[in-house]
């Protein structure tokens, strides 16, 4: 149901991504710090099964790891704004050729990137963020002009509850539909490949909220 594809970035370079095709509107799905691994591909297929044409741009150019230190190194080496303006934008542009509306959804690092995308990319119609907030100098959430849904863990030492409080304050005056949900869970609670953090109840509740949000904002 999914295939690796090549697509063009705005600067003329090429990027790869994993695409799970469907007949509906589009989702650009952004990876955790591990890379475009099998779990992320499975999420893409789940989105496609729900009716959304889904593309995961490969921001690490094929690199995947299970080692937290290596993942942190790769994440720290990524130009977040540059990746958003090139690979993420290229993915949005590709889907926009056949999709009327496009959401950007991301997890962990990808969650932070989804907020950047919602601020800087004009063709994004909605943002769904799981446990990630970018530095303010990279994107000010107060500048979001599209519907936003966020999912955050109360037991998170990376995207901390304090960071979520600041995000909530930034979003207070945003003139669009804003939902912010908190779960009594750990960072990564949606990732069913990590038994030490996966929380089935929180994951399924968040997915129902995502489904309802997409039905409202990506319906044609």
pLDDT in tens, 78-87: 999 999 999 9
SS3 184: strand
Residue 143's SS3 state is helix
Is the Cβ–Cβ distance between 118 and 43 less than 8 Å?
A: no
Mean pLDDT of the chain: 96
Which domain, by its residues, includes 41?
2-217
| CB-CB neighbours of 15 under 10 Å | 20
Q: Name the token pair of 39.
A: 């779990």
pLDDT tens per residue across span 197-216: 999 999 999 999 999 999 99
pLDDT, tens only, 142-195: 999 999 999 999 999 999 999 999 999 999 999 999 999 999 999 999 999 999
pLDDT value for 14: 97
219 pLDDT band (50/70/90 cuts)? confident
| pLDDT at site 1 | 74
Domain count, the chain: 1
Q: pLDDT > 90: what percent of the chain?
A: 98
Percent of the chain with pLDDT over 70: 100
- The pair phi, psi for residue 206, each rounded to 5°, is -65, -40
CATH at residue 104: 3.40.50.1820
The answer to whether 87 and 97 have CB atoms below 8 angstroms apart is no
DSSP class of 142: G
What pTM does this model have?
0.97
Mean pLDDT, to the nearest integer, of 102-123? 97
- What pLDDT is attached to residue 220? 58
């Amino acid at each position: 149901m999914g295939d690796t594809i090549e697509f063009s970035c705005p600067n003329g370079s090429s990027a790869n991504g994993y695409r799970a095709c469907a007949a509906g509107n589009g989702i650009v799905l952004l990876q955790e710090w591990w890379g475009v691994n099998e779990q992320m591909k499975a999420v893409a297929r789940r989105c496609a099964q729900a009716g959304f044409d889904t593309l995961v741009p490969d921001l690490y150019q094929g690199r995947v790891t299970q080692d937290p230190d290596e993942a942190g190194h790769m994440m720290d080496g990524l130009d977040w704004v540059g990746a958003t303006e090139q690979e993420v934008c290229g993915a949005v542009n590709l889907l926009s050729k056949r999709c009327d509306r496009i959401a950007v959804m991301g997890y962990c690092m990808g969650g932070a990137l989804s907020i950047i995308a919602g601020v800087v990319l004009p063709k994004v119609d909605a943002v769904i963020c799981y446990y990630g907030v970018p530095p303010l100098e990279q994107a000010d959430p107060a500048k979001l002009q599209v519907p936003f849904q966020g999912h955050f863990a109360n037991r998170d030492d990376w995207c901390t509850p304090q960071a979520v409080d600041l995000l909530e304050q930034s979003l207070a005056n945003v003139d669009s539909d804003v939902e912010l949900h908190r779960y009594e869970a750990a960072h990564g609670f949606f990732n069913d490949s990590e038994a030490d953090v996966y929380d089935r109840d929180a994951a399924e509740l968040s997915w129902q909220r995502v489904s309802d949000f997409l039905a409202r904002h990506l319906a044609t």
